[in-house]
């Protein structure tokens, strides 16, 4: 999949590309820097090397679209798009996004959202959904700003990494409605904000 370069409003440049097995150590450093108080709400143990290797393999095989945002050779964001494989659901996908708190406010999450929107559009998806635990208020705000609407709350539906029951929030957005969020996304990216890297289609 193609590599994209985005210029943020503060003139910083970030590169968004596919996750690969070569990213193991950088991915471990990225997730390890996220406080445990936040990591405990992640679906998986993201500082387990075996799990990180599996994630890279999923990306390389195309089973799950996994992308990383890099700035100055450091991973500053992680996102994935898991397309439903059943034929009656093939036009929808689940989005997951990880942005460290220290990076929020720079526009990185919106560059990643733009990247995933383009991928979803190319794959002719009609709807993108996401799931998060109720305490993940920062993610709730990000998704809301991107145009996602809450579809439901499942009480005590999932367990966090400490084994405690948590409510699961389901949000979704038709792809056409996400187009309206592009103006908001553009507020965080420099004008003429994306470019296609060498050798891309």
| Residue 168 reports pLDDT greater than 50 | yes
pLDDT value at position 118? 86
Largest CA distance in the chain: 48
- Mean pLDDT computed over every residue of the chain: 81
Angle at 103 between CA 98 and CA 106, to 5 degrees: 115
- For residue 195 the two structure tokens come to 């470019």
Architecture of the domain delimited by 4-189: 3-Layer(aba) Sandwich (3.40)
- Both tokens of 179, joined, read 């187009």
Query: Cα–Cα distance between 53 and 134 in angstroms, integer?
Result: 28
The more confidently predicted of residues 111 and 146 is 111
Instruction: Answer whether residue 49 shows pLDDT above 90.
Output: yes
Looking at residue 80, its pLDDT comes to 92
pLDDT band for position 79 (cuts 50, 70, 90): very high
Q: What does the pLDDT look like over 3-30, one tens digit per residue?
A: 999 888 788 899 999 999 999 999 999 9
In the DSSP assignment, the letter for residue 97 is: E
Beta strand residue intervals within the chain, DSSP E: 4-8, 13-18, 65-71, 74-83, 92-98, 127-133, 149-159, 165-174, 189-196
Per-residue pLDDT band for 179 (boundaries 50, 70, 90) equals low
Q: Is the pLDDT of residue 186 over 80?
A: no
Q: Which three-class secondary structure state does DSSP give residue 73? A: coil
Q: Would you say residue 52 has pLDDT above 90? A: yes
Q: Is the pLDDT of residue 189 over 80?
A: no
19-23, 127-131, 182-186 — which is least confidently predicted? 182-186
CA atoms within 13 A on the CB side of 30: 23
The two tokens of residue 194 are 């994306």
How high is the pLDDT of residue 200?
Answer: 24
Residue 107 has pLDDT above 50, yes or no: yes
40-44, 154-158, 178-182: segment of lowest average pLDDT: 178-182
Cβ(80)–Cβ(96) under 8 Å?
yes
Q: How confident is the model at residue 55 (pLDDT cuts 50, 70, 90)?
A: very high
User: How far, in Å, CA of 31 to CA of 39, rounded?
Assistant: 8
Contact (Cβ atoms closer than 8 angstroms) between residue 127 and residue 147: no
């Amino acid at each position: 999949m193609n590599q994209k370069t985005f210029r943020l409003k503060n003139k910083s440049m970030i590169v968004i590309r596919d996750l690969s097995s070569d990213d193991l150590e950088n991915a471990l450093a990225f997730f390890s820097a996220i406080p445990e108080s936040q990591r405990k709400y992640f679906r998986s143990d993201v500082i387990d090397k075996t799990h990180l290797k599996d994630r890279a393999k999923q990306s390389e095989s195309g089973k799950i679209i996994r992308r990383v945002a890099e700035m100055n050779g450091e991973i500053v964001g992680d996102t994935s798009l898991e397309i439903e494989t059943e034929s009656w659901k093939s036009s929808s996908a689940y989005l997951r996004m990880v942005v460290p708190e220290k990076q929020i406010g720079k526009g990185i999450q919106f560059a990643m959202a733009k990247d995933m929107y383009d991928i979803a559009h190319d794959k002719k998806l009609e709807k993108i959904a996401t799931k998060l635990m109720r305490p993940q208020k920062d993610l709730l705000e990000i998704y809301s700003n991107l145009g996602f609407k809450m579809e439901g709350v499942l009480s005590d539906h999932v367990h966090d990494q400490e084994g405690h029951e948590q409510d699961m929030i389901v949000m979704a957005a038709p792809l056409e409605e996400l187009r309206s969020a592009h103006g908001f996304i553009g507020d965080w990216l420099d004008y003429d904000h994306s470019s296609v890297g060498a050798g891309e289609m």
